[in-house]
Amino acid sequence: MIWIELLVVLFFIFLGSKMGGIGIGYAGGAGVVVLTLIFGLDAGSVPVDVILIIMAVISAIAAMQKAGGLDYLVHLSESLLRKNPKRVTFLGPTVTYFMTLFAGTGHTAYAALPVIVEVSKEGNVRPSKPLSISVVASQIAITASPISAAVVIFASFLEPLGVSYLQLLAVAIPSTILACVVGAIVANKLGKPLDQDPVYQERLKAGLVKEKSTETHKDTKEAKRSVGIFLVAIAIIVTYATLISKKVGLIENPTIPRNEAIMAVMLLAATVIALICKLKMADIPSMSTFKSGMSAAICVLGVAWLGDTFVSNHIEEIKEAAGGMLNQYSWLLAVVLFFASMLLYSQAATTTALMPAALALGVSPIAAIASFAAVSALFVLPTYPTLLAAVEMDDTGTTKIGKYVFNHSFIVPGTVTIASSVIFGFLIGSIVL
């Protein structure tokens, strides 16, 4: 029966990926119904903390976006990119990486992608080069962000094994940054120069390539204040999480645990931004970050619940079948996470569904942390929103989705970046842990 039940899980994941967007959350919930009511399995744990953290962080980001904070960050990024248009393949992913690291969601990349396209054209750089690695950087940075749901929930799995939240970040941040540099070097070598690309020349003659935007951006005091408030909130979260960790232990018996503290501080930040910037509360749910974030929460609810329902009911069989192999070849965990995340479409969902089982199978904390970046293989199937946005925004036609599904502009830079991060993770992890 275990194989039939596994097929049921894979069927509903496939169905959800075909539906697209929030559909994977819907299909995940449907799969739970089938496994419990038809196959008689006990329902798994609902990923409550993950969902609540996503909701709290997104509510603060949406308030910051309404106040103009995201536009301000994009304006700062644009100034950096325009000063060095020839280096956009390296600066573009730097921008999207740190915006995601700062915000805890890769959907902030939407705002930077049009700027990357414009700067690429100015510097005669094939836009597919910076766009491909910039999208990948925005995804892998989730596994290094102090406030992302994936990092926070993974940290809670590692703490009983003696690994602190700060140690996780100390490995994840440098390994993913170095990996993005490697990915950018590879992306920079792919494809012809822009002025030699026949597709671009045809589109240029047909008048399909847009001219440089002449719009001017005006930074408001509210925009700058909202960014400052959000930064302070992140600093408070990281400091508090460090002080209550077992490694530091300066605050014993804390009145509020780390996960709940993140939620509370994010809601506090949203409150302060709304009051100081005099926001209309009715406008915040219409923000693009709010919509994408709440969709992500539904996706995590369905698919992580489905995964946990299957794994928790068959953990002993899984240990028997895969425990020895994963202990002997710990890097195989990265391969499992890579292929799982390309179907689950969420770093948090993949982490919640598979990491507890991997640790229960005896995978070492170093191997788990090194493999963590592999939950970011959302670029493999060319249907993820930021990937599709990059293709749509590249009016030169150089960023493509091929006829054979996997032969698209993102697959090589993305795979190289994740593989590099896993390697760097093992090296840095052996030093930090």
The CA distance from 145 to 88, in Å, is 23
> At residue 307, does pLDDT exceed 60?
yes
- Per-residue CA distances from 56 to 60, 152, 308, 406 (Å): 7, 13, 23, 35
Q: For residue 210, what pLDDT is reported?
A: 75
pLDDT per position as a tens digit, 361-376: 889 999 999 999 999 9
Check: CB of residue 299 under 8 Å from CB of residue 22.
Answer: yes
381: part of which helix (H) or strand (E)?
A: none
pLDDT per position as a tens digit, 34-64: 999 999 999 988 888 888 988 999 999 999 9
Lowest-pLDDT choice from 14-28, 123-137, 174-188, 202-216: 202-216
The CA distance from 55 to 63, in Å, is 12
- Amino acid, res. 285: P
> At residue 247, does pLDDT exceed 70?
no
- Mean pLDDT over residues 69-97, rounded? 91
Any idea of the CA torsion for 261, 266, 269, 274, to the nearest 10 degrees? -140
pLDDT band per the 50, 70, 90 thresholds, residue 424 = very high
> At residue 214, does pLDDT exceed 70?
no
Query: How much is the mean pLDDT over the chain?
Result: 88
pLDDT band per the 50, 70, 90 thresholds, residue 407 = confident
Any idea of the CA torsion for 281, 285, 287, 293, to the nearest 10 degrees? 130
Q: Which residues form the domain of 237?
A: 1-209+217-430
- Amino acid, res. 85: P
Any residues with CB less than 8 A from the CB of 39 and at least 6 apart, and which? 1, 4, 5, 8
pLDDT per position as a tens digit, 113-170: 989 999 998 888 999 999 999 999 999 999 999 999 999 999 999 999 989 999 999 9
The CA distance from 7 to 11, in Å, is 6
281: part of which helix (H) or strand (E)?
A: none
Number of C-beta neighbours around residue 347 at 10 A:
32
The residue among 214, 205, 184 whose CA lies nearest residue 118 is 214
Half-sphere exposure of 144 (CA within 13 A, CB side): 29
- Amino acid, res. 277: C
pLDDT per position as a tens digit, 171-182: 999 999 999 999
Q: For residue 136, what pLDDT is reported?
A: 96
- Amino acid, res. 9: V
- Mean pLDDT over residues 259-283, rounded? 94
Most confident of 27-41, 286-300, 312-326: 27-41
> At residue 277, does pLDDT exceed 90?
yes
Q: For residue 248, what pLDDT is reported?
A: 63
Q: For residue 288, what pLDDT is reported?
A: 86
Check: CB of residue 338 under 8 Å from CB of residue 376.
Answer: no
Lowest-pLDDT choice from 204-213, 351-360, 418-427: 204-213
Check: CB of residue 103 under 8 Å from CB of residue 296.
Answer: no
Per DSSP, the three-state class of 250 is: coil
- Amino acid, res. 426: F
> At residue 23, does pLDDT exceed 70?
yes
The CA distance from 304 to 99, in Å, is 26
Domain count, the chain: 1
Helices (H) and strands (E) in the chain, counts: 19, 0
- Mean pLDDT over residues 399-422, rounded? 89
The residue among 281, 276, 169 whose CA lies nearest residue 226 is 276
The CA distance from 310 to 19, in Å, is 22
> At residue 68, does pLDDT exceed 60?
yes
Q: For residue 212, what pLDDT is reported?
A: 66
The CA distance from 131 to 224, in Å, is 27
